[in-house]
A and B are shown apart, each in its own frame.
Chain A
Amino acid sequence: MRIRCPYCGERDNGEFTYLGDAGGARPDGMGTDAAAMHDYVYLRDNRAGVHRELWYHGAGCRSWLVVTRDTRTHEISDVTSAREAGLARRNSGTTSGEAA
């Protein structure tokens, strides 16, 4: 599997480290209850299909990336910078749920 880093171009997946689901947004820890924090920290969907997930390009540009990958085929349909995705989410005013 290769991942097309938006900064470095197409690279072997050995240069990257997988973190997990890129969907969840961290609740405001002071404003929410224990159950919501528990969900955020521990509960994950194990999707068969298109999945947005975080990868770290540790052997390259050391950027966090949001990779949209089909877990059934490993086909990657989109890769963006996690920083850009996070800023876009902040600017759109969305505070929870999945980034657009």
Chain B
Amino acid sequence: MSEIATTSSWRPRSAWAGFAKPGRQGRAGAEPGVILDLREGIGLATIILADGQDEALARALSERFGFAPPAPGAAAFASGRGLVWAGPGQWLAVAPSRADLAGFGEALAGLAAVTDQSDSRAVVRVSGPQARTALSKGVGVDLHPRAFRAGSAAGTGISHIVAQIWQLDDAPTYELAVPRSFAGSFWGWLTESAAEYGCEVRGLPR
């Protein structure tokens, strides 16, 4: 193997690279029914509570984020940074970039296990007037506003792929995270589901 080939094969690349292409897909028309913003360069970390540190961890997270760690089935965001409930004593920290999570592990030392997941998930923001309808074709939880609204979060299966979904606002705007190695399969499901409404794919600035 040549040195040049080795070097280029280790170049960092987006989780969506090779699958997602910016631009319009599916039904043509004036307004796209579904808008897909690729969350490139996002910062992610899992937080797993250490035994008996519930109150201390809640205090530390409140100081850092400005809100208490969300309850089961909930997510909380402020200024693009958030916490998504992921399981009992577990949260996913979300930030615009990995740099925003610098020092996070040290800050929670002894209170929680913190693991950088920024490169482990493919994350996409789904909005547009048909976002809920398109997602409802495969998301394993009820997305009707009576059951799922801004600040709701769930881990569930989508087209046999383990996924986390959280809702950012009542527009509605959702974000979905899937394991990076499933990005291609998930992208296939998502764009097929959105095609009949017209789908606009965008890269999101950092």
Is A24's beta carbon under 8 Å from chain B?
A: no
- How far in angstroms is the closest Cβ of chain A from B10? 31
B87 close to A11 (CB less than 8 A): no
Q: With A59-B156, A60-B156 known to touch, is A7 a contact of B162 (CB < 8 Å)? A: no
User: Which residue of A8, A12, A81 is within 8 Å of B155 (Cβ)?
Assistant: A8
Is B18's beta carbon under 8 Å from chain A?
A: no
Q: Which residues of B contact A83 (CB under 8 A)?
A: 88
Q: Which residues of A contact B157 (CB under 8 A)?
A: 12, 14-15, 59
- How far in angstroms is the closest Cβ of chain A from B152? 11
- How far in angstroms is the closest Cβ of chain A from B126? 19
- How far in angstroms is the closest Cβ of chain A from B189? 15
Interface residues of A toward B: which range?
10 to 19
Output the nearest chain B residue to A81 by Cβ-Cβ distance.
Answer: B88
Q: How far is the CA of A82 from the CA of B88 in the complex (A)?
A: 12
B162 close to A59 (CB less than 8 A): yes
B154 close to A8 (CB less than 8 A): yes
Q: How far is the CA of A48 from the CA of B160 in the complex (A)?
A: 31
> What total of A-B pairs shows CB separation below 8 Å?
45
Residues of B84-129 contacting chain A, CB below 8 A: 86-88, 90
- How far in angstroms is the closest Cβ of chain A from B17? 26
Q: How far is the CA of A60 from the CA of B58 in the complex (A)?
A: 22
Residues of A39-61 contacting chain B, CB below 8 A: 58-61
Is A72's beta carbon under 8 Å from chain B?
A: no
Q: Given contacts A14-B157, A59-B156, list 11 more A-B pairs with CB under 8 A.
A: A7-B87, A7-B88, A8-B72, A8-B154, A14-B140, A61-B72, A61-B86, A61-B155, A62-B90, A63-B88, A81-B88
Q: Write 30 A-B pairs (CB below 8 A) sorted by A numbering.
A: A7-B87, A8-B72, A8-B73, A8-B154, A8-B155, A8-B156, A9-B73, A11-B141, A11-B156, A15-B140, A15-B156, A58-B162, A59-B156, A59-B157, A59-B162, A60-B87, A60-B154, A60-B155, A61-B72, A61-B87, A61-B88, A61-B90, A61-B155, A62-B86, A62-B87, A62-B90, A62-B155, A63-B88, A81-B88, A83-B88
Residue ranges of B at the interface with A (Cβ–Cβ < 8 Å): 72-73, 86-88, 90, 140-141, 154-157, 160, 162
Residue ranges of A at the interface with B (Cβ–Cβ < 8 Å): 7-9, 11-12, 14-15, 58-63, 81, 83
